[in-house]
């Protein structure tokens, strides 16, 4: 598939999951729990401030309860060996161009950053789940914020009709990250 790069390899299947996060901010992938994705009435673009320079990032576990409720065929009951991959980039002029942190194979849906991040800085972050389904490796999409039409207009982000072209230009892959990766600010 064009535009997906390394995510489409033999033996890996990309599962695309869309749902709404708390506070009315739509996300694709696993929903961030701390820091939250922001609020449509708040500062969606820059994210929320964390309380330390070594934050403990938390996200919803995979598979989600809602997914299990909708899984009439019992597919998700066969999911095993779930782990998570985490990426963090420093925001440089509103672009996540400086990778600063990477962890793979995390066994819980949270992680305390093991090194100090810079003060008064904005960071992009994303997470995805890896798992086995019937003995075959699978991976979810990297988590990103998505926006409603009104939020897109207010923030200068693409309208829904333009999103397909935008998605082609900015695929949901970690290098470089999608510009809609979750964001947070560190304390000053």
Residue owning tokens 């003060």: 119
Whether pLDDT at 152 is above 80:
no
Q: What is the CATH number of domain 5-185?
A: 2.60.40.10
pLDDT digits (tens, 9 = 90+) for 34-71: 998 764 444 445 578 999 999 999 999 999 888 888 89
Q: Take residue 78 and report the two structure tokens written for it.
A: 């066969």
Domain ranges in the chain are: 5-185
Three-state helix/strand/coil letters over 99-125? EEEEEEEECCCEEECCCCCCCCCEEEE
Distance from C-alpha of 108 to C-alpha of 123, rounded to nearest angstrom: 22
User: What mean pLDDT is reported for the chain?
Assistant: 74
Q: Which residue has the higher pLDDT, 24 or 53?
A: 53
Whether pLDDT at 161 is above 60:
no
pLDDT digits (tens, 9 = 90+) for 84-109: 999 999 988 767 678 899 999 999 99
| pLDDT for position 150 | 43
């Amino acid at each position: 598939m064009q535009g997906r790069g390394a995510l489409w390899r033999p033996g890996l299947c990309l599962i695309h999951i869309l749902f709404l996060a708390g506070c009315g901010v739509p996300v694709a992938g696993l929903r961030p729990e701390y820091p939250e994705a922001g609020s449509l009435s708040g500062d969606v673009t820059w994210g929320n401030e964390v309380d330390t320079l070594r934050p403990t990032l938390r996200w919803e576990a995979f598979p989600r309860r809602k997914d299990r409720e909708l899984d009439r065929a019992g597919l998700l009951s066969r999911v095993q060996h779930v782990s998570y991959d985490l990426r963090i980039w420093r925001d440089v002029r509103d672009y996540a161009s400086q990778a600063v942190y990477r962890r793979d194979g995390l066994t819980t849906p949270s992680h305390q950053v093991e090194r100090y991040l810079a003060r008064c800085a904005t960071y992009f972050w994303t997470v995805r789940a890896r798992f086995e389904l019937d003995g075959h490796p699978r991976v979810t999409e990297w988590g990103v914020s998505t926006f409603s039409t009104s939020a897109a207009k207010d923030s200068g982000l693409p309208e829904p009709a333009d999103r397909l072209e935008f998605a082609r230009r900015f695929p949901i892959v970690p290098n470089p990250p999608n510009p809609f990766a979750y964001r947070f600010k560190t304390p000053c």
